[in-house]
Homo-oligomer: A and B are copies of this chain.
Amino acid sequence: MPDELTLHPFLWRATHLAGDTSVVCRTPDGMHRYTYTAFGERVRLLAGALQARGIGPGDRVATLGWNTHQHLECYYAVPLIGAQLHTINLRLSPETIGYIIEDAEDRLLFAAADAAGTLASIEDSLQTVTETVWLDATAGDDVPGETYEDLLSSATPIETWPQLSEDLPAGMCYTSGTTGRPKGVEYTHRMIYVHAMTVMTPASLNISPEDVVMPVVPMFHVNSWEFPYAVTMAGAKQVYPGVSPTPEDLISLIAREGVTLTAGVPTVWIDVLEALDPSSDALESLDRIIVGGSAAPTGVMRRYRDEHDVTIEHAWGMTETMSIGSVGRDRTGDAEPFVRASKQGHLTPGMRMRVIADGDDIPWDGESVGELLVRGPNVVDSYHAKAGETAFLEDEHGRWLRTGDIVTVDSDGTLTVVDRVKDVIKSGGEWISSIALENTLMELPEIAEAVVVGSPHARWQERPVAFVVPSSGAGVEVDRVRSMLEAEFPRWWLPDDIIIRSEVPKTATGKFDKRSLRPAAAESDLPFTPGETDT
């Protein structure tokens, strides 16, 4: 059989065909800067250190790390010796982190220095962990164990990489678990290979050897949307923003390193925009920003284009699809800018979909709504420890993942995510898209953030309630907001209450935390609830 699909050629290609290309990382001491050749040498050191500790096939090595070059080294050394890299979201609650480590039975832990407190508080959950190594600790940090740099400085580099089966697990992430316990999702070498190759194609993220790529999406968030693998295989320069970068840090990294492509949730890019003078040329090198998780307002997309000549593209994906599953891209000659790039776009090559409502495929007319089902070589067909079987549907064509996303499909197959199955507001037998309302609210200059959730209602089943955060220095007039919404939506879609807040809660992955707002929505007396004749 021809070569198996493992991560070996990723490291080979970067170190042999892009050996002089840079990997840079922001650190407290300034920029850490090295070449892929030097990167490869440190990966060999780390692999040697892990093997010396008896780590190998069957073992999980967890990371609680930020976007750093050391974390990138873990991305390669761990799977290349046959072990499995389990990336854990640092922003989860200590209890959830403890549950995840226990469930995954992690053996070794690489942790950022600022996770020391969290880990100390969940010591009982670390029974399977034999050792914790501190990833980005510096001389001043008081960490209870060996630092990553000490580990490397005492290591002997691995000489010969073991031959690996492509079906060996290489990665693992847990779903954010807004309902129920987080579920483990495992990625084999083969899945990462095929997905990273797909992500490189122009029909997906279009990553070229000449790009300079800065992944701002956290490396604990579904392999940082596959950038650490795809960009390395492309042999392109990579820029890591380090621990807790400010908007000014990101701007400075883009300007100094010549970043052409970056990615992250919209709020990051809204903050960057606010921190920039419209006439600044700091983003001159930047070509595209990939956003996901939630939608970037059209106003933000327009300002990035008009003020900085930067394109924002929306992507859709899940932990279960290894992140990127579709990308929205404007095409040359599109009459209305931002319309196509605001949608979730076309599935990336190799994926297929069905969209169903009540068990039947919906028409692709841009209006009908249904739940998105997907399949592909980057779509898992089960969870760790057989959790979540209900997320799959079998038909005569095979096994499909139920995404939990409510979408419309244009006649050309373009996806628009309308809502989550659990967030869509069911009012009088019809569906109201909380996301559509939020996006329109956030188009208003006086509103910085908006969240719409359902409030239980005896007559209508559910009614929408909006929570809005005013823009800095702005005042929000509820009447004006309602009349603006009325211009775009049917009257019965309008929120029955608009509650002004100084901030809205977010989940550990930066999304609006709707669950925690539902009690407040339920307590509203719904001053604007429509009567029978209003609908």
Q: What is the interface of chain A, defined by CB distance below 8 A to chain B?
A: 1-5, 8-9, 12-13, 16-20, 160, 163, 167, 191, 193-194, 197-198, 200-203, 206-210, 233-235, 331-332, 346-347, 349-352, 375-381, 396-398, 411-413
Q: Given A197-B194, A208-B202, is A381 in contact with B350 using a C-beta cutoff of 8 Å?
A: no
Q: How far is the CA of A500 from the CA of B235 in the complex (A)?
A: 46
In the assembled complex, the CB of A236 is this many whole angstroms from the nearest CB of chain B, namely 9
Which of B19, B193, B234, B397 has a CB less than 8 Å from the CB of A201? B234
Q: How far is the CA of A349 from the CA of B3 in the complex (A)?
A: 13
Contacts of A351 in B (CB 8 A): 9
In the assembled complex, the CB of A224 is this many whole angstroms from the nearest CB of chain B, namely 18
Q: How far is the CA of A375 from the CA of B163 in the complex (A)?
A: 14
Contacts of A9 in B (CB 8 A): 349-352, 376
Contacts of A378 in B (CB 8 A): 2
A376–B17 CB distance below 8 A: no
Which of B201, B207, B332, B411 has a CB less than 8 Å from the CB of A210? B332
In the assembled complex, the CB of A124 is this many whole angstroms from the nearest CB of chain B, namely 35
Q: How far is the CA of A375 from the CA of B6 in the complex (A)?
A: 13
In the assembled complex, the CB of A212 is this many whole angstroms from the nearest CB of chain B, namely 12
Q: How far is the CA of A209 from the CA of B201 in the complex (A)?
A: 10
Q: Which residue of B lies closest to A415 (CB)?
A: B17
Chosen A-B contacts, 21 in total, with CB atoms closer than 8 Å, are A1-B167, A2-B191, A3-B379, A5-B377, A8-B352, A9-B351, A13-B350, A13-B352, A16-B352, A17-B412, A160-B396, A160-B397, A193-B350, A200-B203, A202-B202, A202-B206, A202-B209, A203-B235, A233-B349, A233-B350, A234-B349
Contacts of A396 in B (CB 8 A): 160
Contacts of A197 in B (CB 8 A): 194, 197-198, 201, 349-350
Contacts of A234 in B (CB 8 A): 201-203, 349
